[in-house]
Amino acid sequence: MRSCLLLGARGFLGRQIEMMLRDQGIDVIGTTRVLADGDPDSWIAYEFPRDSIGNCIRDLHFDFIIMAARLARANIEAKHSPDTETCPLDDMFEELSRTTRSQVTYVSSDAVFSGTRGGYIETDEADSSEPYGSMQATAERSLSAHLSNHLIVRTSFLFDVKDVPTDSRLSRMRQALTSCTPFYADTNVYKSPVRVVDAAHEVVKRTLARQTGIVHLPGERQSVYDFFETSLEPLGLTQFREQLIARENAQPSDTSLRSVFARSTA
Ligand SMILES: NC(=O)c1ccc[n+]([C@@H]2O[C@H](COP(=O)([O-])OP(=O)(O)OC[C@H]3O[C@@H](n4cnc5c(N)ncnc54)[C@H](OP(=O)(O)O)[C@@H]3O)[C@@H](O)[C@H]2O)c1
């Protein structure tokens, strides 16, 4: 039976990936920072950058690795001393290269782009200067330097109007609107949102096909305001429309993604 190490198996995207892998008959070794009662026996505890990934997976066998955990964000929150921020990512990918020959799929973000023009394709240079985007770009570079057998999947907003409690972004809007608190959304910040189930499908499909390189998951280009506004009806929140307030961001941006490979996944 083929098996997959899945970092972030409990996450918004990770849980969808986990279900799809199981549906394909693939054994999943999920990671979570803290194991809980009811977690499958095959799951292991792993927290970046505290734990050594090499130690955590030393005696395990798997055919693929999918990284759907918030590693770039965790690395920023770890507040390393200046000029040492990249070390934990380098250490992790270097350890992986020593421990396994498996293909690695890393889920990255549209945030690697500055947003000065939008419609980014896979060959466009990552050029973000904000902390999260440049940390994602650092993770991508580090992965590429250490593991030749890798796939980077970049996505914009992920969403799930059918299971809002799992979707922290839509949950925040619903919570604000239903408690009659104004919820502000930018009309001049553009994204290309993708349903989380479609993103998971693409990640699994391309990983199992052993695709390498970079792939974008393109969705329909939308302003952040339009994204929330079009979610009102499926969420049954149209009576709260007045609480959704359109605003102009002082820093307009367009990080929408296109792909040279595929049809839109919107
Ligand atoms: N959601 C979006 O709109 C979006 C957009 C663009 C890109 N992405 C990318 O897609 C990936 C998955 O996103 P998501 O929304 O599914 O993320 P998420 O639900 O916020 O987090 C995924 C998992 O990351 C794990 N995690 C957090 N900190 C960790 C750490 N320090 N060490 C190890 N694991 C850690 C958590 O596992 P436990 O809580 O079980 O420990 C969590 O369940 C991320 O790489 C993200 O950058 C997401």
| Rounded-to-integer distance, Cα 102 and Cα 51, Å | 20
Domains in the chain, ordered, with CATH? 3-157+192-216 (3.40.50.720), 164-191+222-254 (no CATH)
**What is the percent of the chain with per-residue pLDDT over 70, rounded to a whole number?**
98
Expressed in angstroms and rounded, the spacing between residue 30 Cα and the centre of ligand 1 is 13
pLDDT for 263 equals 57
Expressed in angstroms and rounded, the spacing between residue 32 Cα and the centre of ligand 1 is 10
Tell me the pLDDT tens digit for each residue of 61-85: 999 999 999 999 999 999 888 889 8
User: Radius of gyration of the chain from Cα atoms?
Assistant: 19
Q: How many CB atoms lie within 10 A of CB 161?
A: 15
Tell me the pLDDT tens digit for each residue of 116-160: 999 999 999 999 999 999 999 999 999 999 999 999 999 999 999
Burial of 123 (C-beta count, 10 Å sphere; 0-12/13-18/19+): exposed
Considering the entire predicted model, what is its pTM? Answer: 0.96
Closest residue CA from atom 40 of ligand 1: 32
Tell me the pLDDT tens digit for each residue of 157-200: 999 999 999 999 999 999 999 999 999 999 999 999 999 999 99
Q: Which amino acid does the sequence have at 41?
A: D
Q: Which amino acid does the sequence have at 122?
A: E
Residues 6 or more apart from 117 whose CB is under 8 A from it?
Answer: 254
Tell me the two tokens of residue 225. Answer: 């305001």
Expressed in angstroms and rounded, the spacing between residue 233 Cα and the centre of ligand 1 is 27
Atom of ligand 1 nearest to the CA of 69: 24
Closest residue CA from atom 15 of ligand 1: 12
Expressed in angstroms and rounded, the spacing between residue 184 Cα and the centre of ligand 1 is 24
Closest residue CA from atom 8 of ligand 1: 109
pLDDT for 118 equals 96
| Rounded-to-integer distance, Cα 215 and Cα 122, Å | 6
Compute the half-sphere exposure of residue 115: CA atoms within 13 Å on the CB side of its CA: 21
Tell me the two tokens of residue 172. Answer: 């925040």
Nearest Cα to 118, choosing from 228, 225, 222, 229? 222
Q: How many CB atoms lie within 10 A of CB 82?
A: 5
Atom of ligand 1 nearest to the CA of 67: 45
User: Which residues have any ligand 1 atom within 6 Å of their CB?
Assistant: 8, 10-14, 32-33, 46-48, 68-70, 74, 107, 109, 155, 157-158
Atom of ligand 1 nearest to the CA of 158: 3
Q: Indicate the top mutation candidate among 6, 10, 13, 73 to test ligand 1's pocket, ranked by most ligand atoms within 8 A of CB.
A: 13
Expressed in angstroms and rounded, the spacing between residue 7 Cα and the centre of ligand 1 is 9
> Is 12's pLDDT higher than 80?
yes
